[in-house]
Structure 1
């Protein structure tokens, strides 16, 4: 046994060495004058997952949480668009979807391109393909209302996950969004701030990879998987951009 310890080291020694390696990787970030505990924790998560964000990213960002009702309306605006394109007319009438939209003022939480979808055929294949990115927006928004935390691998969410959000983490079509949020638990601002900052760092690593740098995990597609990170980050940052429209959300890194 003593021979094996000399050869390989004990388990506690290996764990100690790993801990020192992790600490050394963080050293350049610790030296940044404006580094915060929140950011350092998120950097550790990024590095552990194979992402390499820049140490020079600012930590003092303009973030102000918008009202829960606005977050709920954006989520349910996406829900209405997904139902319009993905559920056949014979299973869900157009009038029911349009009534849900009008009753809750959801067009105000759609961009022009999204509003135009409502004038298209319900089975428009090209638009169905594009709506898939809205799933990723919906994940972060639904997380605010109790759904699973948006993960960071860059893998697109499944249809089953989106069905779960539509069924269990959004307003029923016959109800009012304003009433729905009264009995729906939400995240704290602190939780939202932490996750948004993490995706800000991830997005920076993705952008660097899109420019040809080795800043993302092996096998990660900077365009496809990177698009997933981008869309989830869009929702998170929008939720913390009070008074800013969806299209004007600052997604710089």
Structure 2
């Protein structure tokens, strides 16, 4: 709770009802930043300053994302389940035996949490080359969700892929999956929205360069950008299902 509001509340407790009502109304009408929430416009301005410092071009006309008052966020438990699914999907993509992946998904209790495209990949007698490539890139989406769960300290400027080996020690074995899910906690919503706004505007710069046949700015890795954007858009409920997520810019 904001310190100044705490003091106001304590003072107002013994005041007449009319004065208390005025105090409550004054709090309600304060700008969001006054009690710990940032407006979408303020976040956009902050992101643009960050991008300027990184020499990343940005589109001033790109729409605002939702703010903390209006956005809908996935539950920590849903994020933890999705992380376990992605861990196994990427493992299969990197060559782990299919039967082991199937057993792990089932023992971890997340078999039914897979998206249709993921089940198709896992159950395919011979996955296509593109399915396998897509699965290996999902490690970047997984890394992003592990950050959201507080398992990763920070999301670096997206110029290089994460190290998949660092993920192994962060993920539960099948026997630990239930506890991993039950104890999951998400980062502060403001931090999640900050990263979402950043990657949304960074992705615009990548797409703009690609569409206009220019060099992608600031050595950005387009694959990392896409996967991070995808994971964060899922996290803020840009669409209902994992397979339905888009990364509009």
Using structure 1 for the length normalisation, give the TM-score.
Answer: 0.70
Q: Call closer, same or farther: CA 1:230–1:45 in 2, change over 3 Å.
A: same
Q: Call closer, same or farther: CA 1:40–1:123 in 2, change over 3 Å.
A: same
CA distance in 2, matches of 1:238, 1:72: 13
Identify the residue that residue 45 of structure 1 maps to in structure 2.
Answer: 50
Identify the residue that residue 81 of structure 2 maps to in structure 1.
Answer: 73
Contact kept in structure 2, 1:66 and 1:242, CA below 8 Å = no
Identify the residue that residue 31 of structure 1 maps to in structure 2.
Answer: none
Identify the residue that residue 174 of structure 1 maps to in structure 2.
Answer: 175
Q: Call closer, same or farther: CA 1:215–1:37 in 2, change over 3 Å.
A: farther
Aligned residue runs from structure 1 range 43-122, under 5 A: 43-61=48-66, 63-86=71-94, 88-89=96-97, 94-95=99-100, 97-120=101-124
Contact kept in structure 2, 1:205 and 1:216, CA below 8 Å = yes
In the TM superposition, residue 124 of structure 1 has moved relative to its aligned partner by 8.3
Contact kept in structure 2, 1:74 and 1:109, CA below 8 Å = yes
Structure 2 residues not aligned, in runs of 5+:
1-38
CA distance in 1, matches of 2:200, 2:228: 10
CA distance in 2, matches of 1:59, 1:136: 24
Contact kept in structure 2, 1:85 and 1:123, CA below 8 Å = no
Contact kept in structure 1, 2:47 and 2:197, CA below 8 Å = yes
CA distance in 2, matches of 1:47, 1:101: 43
CA distance in 2, matches of 1:176, 1:81: 16
CA distance in 2, matches of 1:37, 1:108: 40
CA distance in 2, matches of 1:212, 1:150: 28
Q: Call closer, same or farther: CA 1:208–1:126 in 2, change over 3 Å.
A: closer
SS of the aligned residue for 1:118 comes to helix
The C-alpha deviation readout for 1:16-70, integer Å capped at 9, x for no partner, is xxxxxxxxxxxxxxxxxx9722111111111211211100111153631011111
In the TM superposition, residue 186 of structure 1 has moved relative to its aligned partner by 3.1
Identify the residue that residue 23 of structure 1 maps to in structure 2.
Answer: none
Aligned residue runs from structure 1 range 167-206, under 5 A: 167-168=169-170, 170-177=171-178, 179-206=179-206
CA distance in 1, matches of 2:76, 2:122: 25
Contact kept in structure 2, 1:156 and 1:228, CA below 8 Å = yes
Contact kept in structure 1, 2:58 and 2:205, CA below 8 Å = yes
Contact kept in structure 2, 1:150 and 1:232, CA below 8 Å = no
CA distance in 1, matches of 2:118, 2:181: 24
* 57-66 vs 123-132, greater mean Cα deviation: 123-132
Contact kept in structure 2, 1:84 and 1:122, CA below 8 Å = no
Count of aligned pairs: 207
Alignment of 1:132 onto 2:136: yes
Structure 1 residues not aligned, in runs of 5+:
1-33
Q: Call closer, same or farther: CA 1:101–1:122 in 2, change over 3 Å.
A: farther
In the TM superposition, residue 85 of structure 1 has moved relative to its aligned partner by 4.1
* 135-144 vs 77-86, greater mean Cα deviation: 77-86
Using structure 2 for the length normalisation, give the TM-score.
Answer: 0.71
